[in-house]
């Protein structure tokens, strides 16, 4: 069975990060955290674009020709 089509559990990493108390962190730690999150956003966006291109290629390959 394809697990990619199943709903994500509510306790995923992004939800846990969003719920974390940030008050104990210093300015430097917060800046480092922001840099890491921005890098992760870029990685996810790159993967999303790659997946979209793959899907578009598959759609074009299997699309019925216009009469």
- Whole-model pTM: value is 0.68
Q: How far apart are CA 6 and CA 4, in angstroms?
A: 6
1, pLDDT greater than 60: no
Range with the poorest average pLDDT among 2-6, 26-30, 41-45, 47-51: 2-6
Contact 22, 29 (CB under 8 A): no
For the chain, counts of helices (H) and of strands (E): 2, 0
**DSSP designation for 6:** S
Tell me what pLDDT residue 4 has: 67
Indicate the average pLDDT of the chain: 88
- pLDDT for residue 21 is more than 60: yes
φ, ψ for residue 63, nearest 5 deg: -65, 140
């Amino acid at each position: 069975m394809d697990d990619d089509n199943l709903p994500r559990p509510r306790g995923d990493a992004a939800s846990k990060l969003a719920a974390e108390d940030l008050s104990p962190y210093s300015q430097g730690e917060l800046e480092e955290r922001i840099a890491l999150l921005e890098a992760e956003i870029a990685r996810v966006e790159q993967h999303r674009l790659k997946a979209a291109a793959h899907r578009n290629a598959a759609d074009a390959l299997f699309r019925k020709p216009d009469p």
